[in-house]
Every structure is written in structure tokens, then in C-alpha cells.
Structure 1
Amino acid sequence: MLTGPRIVFRHSLMKAASTILICGAPACGFVAESSLAADSAVAGPSTVPVQVASPVISDVPIYLDGLGAVQAFNTVAVKSRVDGQLQSVNFIEGQYVKKGDLLAVIDPRPYQAALDQAVAKIQQDEADLANAKFLLGKDQKLSEQGITTQETLEAQESQVSQLVAQLAQDKAAKAAADISLSYTQITSPIDGRTGIRLIDAGNQIQTTDSGGIVVVTEMQPISVISTLREDDLPSVQQAQKQGPVEVEALSSDKSSKLATGHLSLIDNEIDQSSGTIRIKSEFQNADNALWPGQFVTLRLRDRTLSGALTVPSSALQRGTDGFYVYVVNPDSTVSVRQVSPGPIEDGKAAITTGLAASDKVVTQGQYRLQEGTKVSFTPIQTSTTSASKVN
């Protein structure tokens, strides 16, 4: 059993411990808070990593784009001009042929026989004419001597004239037989590429056949028929006055350039229903990148902006007030700068107002930026593709 003094001492000891705990708690909190503040002061404000580029002064070409279709300069359906059996086919499908190359042969024997007959008829006519002229000479002498009548002389003269006409007619028949015989040798009328064979050797062929033997298409050079807005007509005409107008044929999705050529023709009327005008461009097509019937995007070089200030197109941002870029300040913070962009080509945008050549613009990482954000940046090499392309 505890005595009175021991109980008093125990209560005093517990009160002292409670006081220490209560007083110690704020002190511990103060120490922890001071430690966090110190750690925050050491870390400093956070920065956003970005990539930047400096504007480049270069020449920027301005293009007009239009949808077009590739069209061959000449496409010929090769047909027979005489009837007969197709004796041989002398080309391979898809083969390139020259003008005058033999494509097919029709059985020539009936036409050779007709020609031989015409030759023989001419020989007969020549013999008859020679005899008639001899008799005419005799009648003329007898008429001078008064032995034969004038009527007999005139009849002989008429006979000679008839034979002369007959000879001329038979010579014309021989020429026709020559032509028909030559038509049995079917040759290519143009330089080009043969298509799929439409008839096989051994078949009977007629001049009235609708299909023919093969279609030959001229591939080099080749043309593109495309359209432009009617509002573009004055600038295209002005470009023509300054010399040949360069055009490019791009794939329909504009991902690759297929060929380079020149503008050859502006159509003589505007399509009122669509407000467009057709133009025709010519390409050498040495590598056959363009194919008849293919849809392409035609890019016409209208003019060139000399000494334009350009930035990578990835630097351009669009807001409610128009286009803007993030400019890096000397203290590594960014500012929003409103700009007026010009043409955008090949990943480069021409800037007409709002930037100076000494500025640095953010090209990647803009999604984390706002006015005054501090950045750490890596410069990128700004391409001068546009300038070299113009030169």
C-alpha cells in the first residue's frame, strides 16, 4: 500500500512529463517546417525544357496548287484498214515502240494477188494502146491520100483516147492495190508504250471492229491538265510574261514530288459553274513517274519573296487573336508574341510582322508554356532549304 508522500511524488512526475511533451510538439513542428523551406530554397523555381530556333532570312517561293490529271499527248487505237486474217502479232504487251515499228501482219496473199492482177491489166492496156496508135497512124496516111474516110479516122482517134483513159484508170487501180497491200503491215503511228493486246493472232479482223489490235500511248513527254481559281489568272499571266513558269507534279497527298516541268497553256475560257480555269503543263517524264489517268497535285511557282524572315512552321501557334509564337527572353523566360505569317512551304513559314532576326522562338514544347514561364532550351539548326531551293 502506497503512502501519502509517494502518491504525491508520482503525480508530480506525470505532470512534468506531460508538460515536456506539450512544449516539445511545437518545437518539432518548427524544425520540420524549417527543413522543408530550406529544401525548397535549394531546388529553386522549375524550368520547362524546349527547343528553339532563330529566324533565317531567305528567299521563299510562292506556289499555287490545283488538282490535276495526267494526260498523254497522243493516244492511238491501232486498227486494221483492211479485212483479213491476223497472221502475226509482233509486239509484247507493255513494250515501248517507235513510230514505224511493225506491230502486226494481216495475211497479204489476197492483196498481193490483186496487185499482180492490176499490173497485168496495165500491161494489157499498154499493148492495146500501142496497137491503137499504130492503126491511127495508118489511117492518118490513108486519109491524106483520100483512101479512108474522115469518119474512120475519127473513130480510130477516139479508140486511142479511150485506151489512154483505160490505162490511167488501171494505173490508179494498181496504186490502190499497192496501198491495200501495205495496210497488211500494221505499224505504230507514234512513239509510245503498247497496252494490253485486244486480239490474238489467227483471228479474222475487220475494218469495222471497234476494239482494234492495241492502244499505243505516248508517255514521253506527257501533260497534266489541272485547274486554278479564276482569281489566280492575273498572277499566272504575269508570271508567264517573265519567262517559262516552273510547275511541279506532286502525289495526290502532297507527300512526294513526282516530276518538274513547265506551264504550256492557259485555257481560253473560265468555267463559270466552278469559277476555275484549266491549265496544261508539260513534263519530260523520263522516269515514267507520271502515268496517264493518274491524279496529281499540280504546284505552280507563282513568284518569289526575296529576303523573307522565316522560322520553322512548328513555331507557329494559333490562338483566339490569330497566330503567335513564344519568344525566349534574355532571362530565359518566354513571352507571347503576335505575328503575321506569310506563305508556308517545306516546313518553313515566312513572317511578315512581329519578329526580328535576333529573336529566338520556341519550336517544340509549347504545350507547357505560358507568359513568363522559365525555360531551358536546346538550339536547333535552322534549315535554309527555301533559300537554296530558290537559288
Structure 2
Amino acid sequence: MNKNVPIKVGIIGCGWAGGTLHLPALKSLPDAEVVAIADIDQHRLNQVGDKYGIKNRYTDFMELIKNNEVEVVAVCVPAKSHAEVAFAALDAGKHTFIEKPLALSMGEMELLIEKANVSPGKATVGFNLRCHRLVREARKIIREGALGKIESMRSAWTSDVRHYRDMPEWRNKRGEGGGTIIEIAIHHFDLWRFLLGSEVEEVSALTRSFEWDDQIATVNARMDNGAIVSSFFSELTSNNNEIEIHGRNGSLLISCYRFDGLEFQPILRTPGTISARAKKAIKTLSNLHQAVSTMRRGGEFMASFQAEWEHFLFSIKNNTPVECTLRDGMAAVKIALATAQSASLGIPVKVTQAPREIRPVGRF
């Protein structure tokens, strides 16, 4: 592979993930060239194609996969179709990027992993928060031992997306990959493992499903290193995406929408004092140049999509390991399967005893 030539990418699915998040990220990268798109909605396909100047457009995703010019396939279709499309791409020998979740059943994920093991193409799962600048800085701090033994983690992802976007019907149904557990909580399930370097043993969940499935969820978990996790998720409130990790030597707060959103609080110090606030103000001012650069790329959250693609393209060109493997993707889905079962039955569920497929609300 010529490292000086952009890698040719085809995107399957031109909805929110493909057309609004990944395509703009890819168009900003010199190492990528989007040469083809596919979507079953002809109107949306033409809208996106015209906006970004992409000539090769297909309503049949197999036609995109058969295009010999395409080297990388981005799977951005609804969750229930991830396995079918990703399997076809891997079977054709394409490098394959699969938007989360990897799939909705253990059987599908096992087949994808088996196919990826024999495919010449690399495969990764799109957990963009792994490549968020502040998340990576936080992981380094944790690994260096600055927090000491980790005791607990608190996280929250809330969004106002339901106030201004009309959702496709599948986004309302847990059994098809909709609702907060599969749509947003799964990102934090992955970060629990990524940041703490530990596996999830057991989860206990409470959800509300009035207007759509799992519109609000709280999830508590126990990690195998002894840490306790508590998280909250919603798509009907204000925007917030935070993770707080507490250790015996101090705590870390990661606020994913702020350029200065990484704060370390050592033990024996009280937050909010004049000296603490002064230090925070100085740090914010010193990082303003970083903020301007990041804002030009759409802010910290959008920059994480660019960063995950930069990593995947680098791994393809240099034959290095991918950041998020299909097994990482399967681990996050297993946590989601246990969480959905716990919410439906009202009892704690061990991840090793989770059902093998996502089921509609109440059907356990």
C-alpha cells in the first residue's frame, strides 16, 4: 500500500451516523477519500452525495462492496443490519469499520469475529469516545497510578436530541437497537472497561419506557477489580457527557464537551476554594489555543470521530493493531444484554449469564 495515497472509503448508511458524523470527519482527513456511498433512501442518498460531491451512489449496499475502488467499508446502517452488512464487507476482503453496537446477538457477533479472523481486511468497532483527547489523557493518568486504587466511577450521558430530531421508528424499539441502553449507554459500558482496565461482573438497571423503550436508564455495576459504577442516561434532557473516577489518592472528572474538561482533584483538598478556582482559571486560559483549534473541527466530541478514523487509517497503512477490536465490541454488547435483562426483570444480572440476544422490553 502506498502510504502517500489517500485510502478509498465507502460509507453504507447515510443517516445521522454516516451522513452527519462520519462523512464530515472523513472529508477533513488527508489520508481518506470517500469515493462511494449507499443508502436505501434514494432522496437521502442524493442529498448527501450532492452535498459532498460523491459520484458513486448505490441503493444496494452489495454494489458498493463490489466496487474495486473501495478499500474500506464503513457500516453505518441501523443496528439490526450491522451483522449482515459487516459480514459481506469482511467476506469481500474489505477493511471494515462497524458503528456501534457490533450486532444485537451473540451468534451474530461470534460469526463476525470468526470471519474477521480469516479476512485480509482489518476490522474495528466505532466507539469514538476511546479516541477522545481527554479520555486518552485520563486513561494515561489512571495507568500511571495517580489515582491509586480505584474505588468507584460515576458517569452520565444526557442529550436533548429528541427535542429537535425526528427519530426513525427503530430508534424507539430496544429489540431493534433503539433506546438509551443500546444507543448511548453502550459507549459508557465500553469506557468502563477501557478506562479501568477491568471487566464488568454484574449490573443492575432501572429504566422508564413510556413514550419509547428505555427512554431513561440508570445502571449500577460491579467491576472485577472491586470498583463500583453508577451511571445515568437520557435523550430527553440537556446535553452532558461526563465520567468521574474516584481513587484512594484523588479523583478525575472528564467532561467530553468541554475543551478544558479534564480535572484532577487530589485527596486532602477541597474543590471550590479560591486557590483551586484560580488554578482552574489559569489552566483554562493556557488551553485557549487548543480550544480554537478544536472548535474549528466541530468541538471536542466531533474531533473524537476524526481521531478514531485517523487511528484506523494508520493501522491499515502501517499494519498495526486497531484501537477497538470486535471482541471489545462484543464485550460492550454483552454488558448491554445483561443491562436490558436486569431492567426487564428488576434483578441484578451477571454479565456471564446475560441472554444471547437483545429482546423487546418485557420479553424475558
State TM-score, norm by structure 1: 0.20
Q: Which has the larger radius of gyration?
A: 1
Structure number with the higher helix fraction is: 2
- TM-score by length of structure 2 reads 0.21
